[in-house]
Structure formats: structure tokens, C-alpha cells
């Protein structure tokens, strides 16, 4: 029997908490921290040597991703960037350097141990234009229309509610904002059971979407210009891929044509993948809770 979503989330939390503790303990050892992931398809070896050398050892050692989203997001000076599942902070620190002192980089993570490690790494790096937030990627604790770029490094595949992740990503992005992330993606021919045979959920394999599912999920949330580009294999029929998409400058039309708005629920397009809160200061979940309305079909 498969694990329930709450059980899977706790399994993921424990795995990353243990990784953070390992790195933190290693920082106090004479030889420094060892990388928490030895597989060549994941971890700090996917970053350029000059990037690794410019960061605190704790940020590099805690890297568990399947790529380098800061290299594909085309970050520009002055932009506000959000990293979903920021871990030890490697992508937040690199993003902060790219957007410069007039920009800002946010990191979102649900694991206290990783957040503590990320804060320590930011302090060691002397980086001041960063902020780390505690929360889940299914309910981002930021207002709507405030972020220029959302990045993520092999984290969305860990979520058990990917439509919520896509909807929340769309909500916090400014009109014209963009997504530039890396994630594990499966061949369309692989069934969920076949993906599970190739690795577990916390190992970024079992929970991966197929190419078609990923594209459809982003488009259902309202994104346009979706591009999914494979980079390297991570398992049989599964690859690390660069994912890009854009939030349209005008987003009212898709919601108006949905035809399922329910004002009682405090959200537009209630019960669809593209729903957004009527109050932009709230998440979809908060809007529903405040109005006492669930999703009713």
C-alpha cells in the first residue's frame, strides 16, 4: 500500500532534516562537511567549480538537486527571485549574487534544520539581500504578483499536490514573470508504477511527472510558453530537465472563461487547477479557509 500524502511529506522532511544535520555536524569537524549525495546525477558537482568555490562549504555540501536552476533562469539585476525548496541555500545565494543589491532572493523550505543551515550559510557568505521563509511549496507565504522569477531544484517532484504547487507559483509571480527550474521528468510511456520501480519518492524518482503531465499541469495553472528540455538521465526512462514557462501579462481571460467561479469560496475558478484567491494577499488554501468553503463538485 502506498504512503498517504501526509506520511510522504513527513518522510521527505525527515530525510532532508537528517541531511542538514549531517552537514552541520561536518562543519564542526576538522575535515569539514562531506556532500550528502554521492550519486553523480545529483548534488554540487552539477555546479561550475567557480560557483562552488565562491560559496560556504555548508551550502555546497547540502546540495541535493539535479541541476543548476540559476544557470537557466536568466536572472537580471534588480529582480525578486523565489527558490521553492531552498534547502541549504545554494541556489538562493547564487541568485542573490546575480540579481545584485537592488534585487532580492527568497528561499522557501519546510525543514527547520535546513532553514537554520541556510541562514548560517548566508551569514558566512555575507549576503544581505536574501530572506528564508518557513512553509510548504503548496501554500507559499508571499503575496500575489510580487515575484519576478520562481526557481526550484529537483523539489516539485517531491510534492504530493503538484497542481497546488503550480497554482501557487502562478499566483506569486508578477504578470510577465517566469519559471526557470530543474526537475526529474519521466518518459510519457512510463506508468506511475513503473516510475516507482526505478526509485523511491524521497529520492526524486517515484513522484516525478511525465513530460505531458508536467506541461499540462503548468498550462492548467495558466502558464504559457512551456518548454521542457532534458539534460541528463537519472534512471531508466527518467531525466533531469530544464523547465521554463511564463505567466501572461494579462491573466483575467482564462479565469473569466472558466465558468465555475464560486464567490462563497473566496477564489476564482473554484475547483479547477487554475483557481486563484480573490484577495491577492491570501493563498488559495487561506481564502477557502477564511470563507469556510471547500471544493465541491
Note the pLDDT of residue 42.
54
C-alpha 169/C-alpha 247 separation (Å) is: 9
Read off the pLDDT of residues 122-138 as tens digits, 9 standing for 90 and up. 998 899 999 999 999 99
Read off the pLDDT of residues 203-248 as tens digits, 9 standing for 90 and up. 556 688 999 999 999 999 999 999 999 988 888 899 989 999 999 9
Read off the pLDDT of residues 167-208 as tens digits, 9 standing for 90 and up. 999 999 999 999 999 999 999 999 888 888 876 545 556 688
Note the pLDDT of residue 145.
97
Q: For residue 35, what pLDDT band results from cuts at 50, 70 and 90?
A: very low
Is the confidence at residue 41, as pLDDT, over 80?
A: no
Model's pTM, two decimal places?
A: 0.73
CA distances from 233 to 37, 69, 159, 189, 195 (A): 16, 17, 21, 16, 13
Read off the pLDDT of residues 3-30 as tens digits, 9 standing for 90 and up. 556 676 666 556 665 665 555 555 443 3
Closest C-alpha among 9, 7, 1 to residue 164: 9
Amino acid at each position: 500500500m502506498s504512503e498517504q500524502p501526509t506520511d510522504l511529506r513527513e518522510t521527505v522532511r525527515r530525510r532532508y532534516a537528517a541531511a542538514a544535520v549531517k552537514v552541520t555536524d561536518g562543519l564542526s569537524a576538522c575535515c569539514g562537511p562531506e556532500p550528502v549525495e554521492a550519486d553523480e546525477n545529483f548534488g554540487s558537482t552539477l555546479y561550475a567549480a567557480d560557483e562552488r568555490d565562491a560559496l560556504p562549504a555548508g551550502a555546497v555540501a547540502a546540495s541535493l538537486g539535479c541541476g543548476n536552476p540559476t544557470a537557466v533562469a536568466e536572472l537580471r539585476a534588480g529582480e525578486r527571485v523565489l527558490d521553492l525548496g531552498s534547502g541549504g541555500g545554494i541556489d538562493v545565494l547564487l541568485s542573490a549574487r546575480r540579481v545584485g543589491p537592488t534585487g532580492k532572493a527568497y528561499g522557501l523550505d519546510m525543514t527547520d534544520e535546513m532553514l537554520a543551515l541556510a541562514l548560517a550559510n548566508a551569514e558566512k557568505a555575507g549576503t544581505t539581500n536574501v530572506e528564508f521563509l518557513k512553509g510548504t511549496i503548496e501554500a507559499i507565504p508571499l503575496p500575489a504578483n510580487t515575484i519576478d522569477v520562481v526557481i526550484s531544484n529537483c523539489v516539485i517532484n517531491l510534492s504530493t499536490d503538484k497542481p497546488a504547487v503550480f497554482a501557487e507559483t502562478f499566483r506569486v509571480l508578477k504578470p510577465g514573470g517566469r519559471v526557470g527550474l530543474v526537475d526529474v521528468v519521466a518518459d510519457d510511456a512510463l506508468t506511475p508504477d513503473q516510475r516507482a520501480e526505478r526509485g523511491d519518492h524521497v529520492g526524486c524518482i517515484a513522484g516525478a511527472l511525465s513530460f505531458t503531465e508536467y506541461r499540462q499541469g503548468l498550462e492548467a495553472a495558466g502558464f504559457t510558453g512551456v518548454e521542457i528540455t532534458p539534460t541528463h538521465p537519472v534512471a531508466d526512462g527518467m531525466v533531469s530537465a530544464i523547465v521554463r514557462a511564463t505567466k501572461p501579462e494579462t491573466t483575467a481571460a482564462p479565469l473569466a472563461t472558466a465558468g465555475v467561479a464560486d464567490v462563497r469560496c473566496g477564489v476564482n475558478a473554484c475547483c479547477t487547477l487554475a483557481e486563484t484567491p480573490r484577495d491577492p494577499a491570501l493563498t488559495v488554501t487561506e481564502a477557502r479557509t477564511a470563507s469556510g468553503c471547500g471544493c465541491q463538485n
